[in-house]
Structure 1
Amino acid sequence: MSVADTAVDINNLAIFLADQQLNNLAACASVDCIIICASAVLHSAEVLFQTLQECPTLTRKLVLCGGIGHSTQFLYEAVADHPQFHTLAKAITGLPEAQVLERIFDEFFDGAAVRAAGCQILVEDESTNCGRNAIKSREILERFAFDLKNIILIQDPTMMLRTTASFEHAYKHVENRPHFISCPVFVPQVRPSAQGQLVYAFNSPPMLWDMQRFIDLILGEIPRVRDDENGYGPNGRGFIGHIHVPAEIEDAWRRLQSMSKGTRS
């Protein structure tokens, strides 16, 4: 495969997994709730917090979601490497991911003004994986007996499809369950460089994953969203509802998987 062909396959997987239903938070009508799951790619949180600062009536409830899990160290490192947030590096090390987001929100954005405008901030800092993000967020919202008709979900775009499926699964027995809207904030895309290497597209946000880690993430996600004996769907581990993976996505995954194995052998 050429680098250009590889880039097409990567981009198609990234688009599929990002499940972008909302591509502009600032242009969105007000919703009952926004839930953001912490990620080592801080761009999504920055866009959300900036948008809330400019439009604090965008939502009545904001849930900051994430405990301490296998990827939390990547979040600490992202904060330490950030041109502004690095001043928090020592203070946030060891904190649950949701508390890291809260510190960023309050120290680098006008969190107090957002709260004063009527947006309630809830911190869910116990979940350790995607499925628990959904369950624990539902529990914290139910604790306050909120009547929610619509919820925007924000997550690492490589995990957005599975995250929305996890929330829909967590609410499957809830009467009058809310409508979930996927908002990955951005969809990562790559291109061949003049030197024939894979690099991120020109309009990409700063401070994204190392390229090999990004590829590993999207390759690892496809087996999870499959509804077979090894996947997370009803025919497998039962963590999410059925997701149809189109044939062209499966074909792209196989080509990339074969290429990835070849480069590591």
Structure 2
Amino acid sequence: MAPVDDTTATDINLLAKFLSDAQLQDLSPASANPVDCIVICASAVLDQATALFASFTLRPSLAKYLVLCGGIGHSTQLLYEAVRCHERYSKIYNEIQGLPEARVLERILDNFFDRAAITAQGCRIVIEDRSTNCGQNASFTRKVLDDAAVHDMKTCIIVQDPTMMLRTRATFERIYKGGPCSVLFISCPVLVPRVQVDSNGCLVYSSTVNCAAGLWTQQRFLELILGEIPRLRDDEQGYGPQGRGFIAHVDIPAAVEEAWLRLVNSVGNSRQIQ
């Protein structure tokens, strides 16, 4: 990637903050009130699973239900690789090969945290291991919760890859629209990525981003955030109600659209990222 300037970093951070949709900053006792359900959609950002399972270990009453979500899809290999490179979790790398993403999360929970202590306090762990995309994350999660006779859910925290957090919440809102009771979905990406420009004019992650397990390459990060904006639009090509109908309507601020366009023109290829 060619050298970039501070304006580019500012635009990237604006998009990243918007997409991370951090309605809840973290899951610490001081931040998170108990809810009916927490859903974690598996991703290669393993600090999310670490933070969630650590919070549950300290506070098993955090939710009545915990859903581990994810089948085998186009990003599953990235999850395996993240486990291989992880300081703690690498020891289970061989045994997770071929497993659905939710089962990888389950192996992390069982091997490195106290599952028995969590469930002893009444939290029920539910596995959704068939979904292969964001839409199925939501629809298949609803099915496994329905099958578990969870029909009165009113509050649900969603933990998802920060680059997909806003779209995931909008997907769950669409799936549960018109259900037997209104559900408040709360986004918790655990971390919000930020970049800065180093002395060589290269993009690097800001030191303020607390992520021990590593993040995406800069190229993949840019591809992810640039690809999200066209999906979120509520037009004929987007995923909103006026387009493909995959998600609830999302308002995209003009400043975000302007930043996206500048980035497409400076560091992206619009034909590749849409």
Which TM-score band (shorter chain)? over 0.9
What fraction of aligned residue pairs are identical, expressed as a percent?
Answer: 55
Tell me the equivalent position of 2:206.
201
d(CA) in 2 for partners of 1:183 and 1:219?
21
Tell me the equivalent position of 1:126.
130
Structure 1, 188-197 or 44-53: larger mean CA deviation: 188-197
Residues 168-222 of structure 1: CA deviation (Å, up to 9, x unaligned): 0001120213111111111100111122211101122131101111011000111
Residue 155 in 1 paired to residue 155 in 2? no
Runs (4 or more) in structure 1 with deviation over 2 Å come to none
Structure 1, 165-174 or 196-205: larger mean CA deviation: 196-205
Tell me the equivalent position of 2:224.
217
Picking from 190, 195, 203, the partner of 2:195 is 190
Residue 171 in 1 paired to residue 173 in 2? no
One-letter amino acid of the counterpart of residue 15, structure 1: K
- Distance apart, 1:2 and its partner CA: 5.0
For 1:248-263, what aligned pairs fall within 5 Å after superposition?
248-261=255-268
For 1:62-73, what aligned pairs fall within 5 Å after superposition?
62-73=66-77
Q: What are structure 2's unaligned runs of at least 5 residues?
A: 270-274
d(CA) in 2 for partners of 1:100 and 1:229?
37
One-letter amino acid of the counterpart of residue 103, structure 2: Q
- Distance apart, 1:245 and its partner CA: 1.1
- Distance apart, 1:144 and its partner CA: 2.0
- Distance apart, 1:158 and its partner CA: 0.3
Q: Is the 8 A contact 2:4 2:201 kept in 1?
A: no
SS in 1 for 2:264: helix
Residue 100 in 1 paired to residue 104 in 2? yes
d(CA) in 2 for partners of 1:256 and 1:209?
18
Q: Is the 8 A contact 2:84 2:90 kept in 1?
A: yes
- Distance apart, 1:54 and its partner CA: 0.9
Q: What are structure 1's unaligned runs of at least 5 residues?
A: none
TM-score of the two chains, using structure 2 as the length reference: 0.93
When the two chains are superposed, the root-mean-square deviation of aligned CA atoms in Å is 1.5
Tell me the equivalent position of 2:94.
90
Q: Is the 8 A contact 2:16 2:193 kept in 1?
A: yes
Residue 8 in 1 paired to residue 1 in 2? no
Q: Is the 8 A contact 2:165 2:187 kept in 1?
A: yes
One-letter amino acid of the counterpart of residue 67, structure 2: V
How many residues in Structure 1 have an aligned counterpart in Structure 2?
Answer: 264
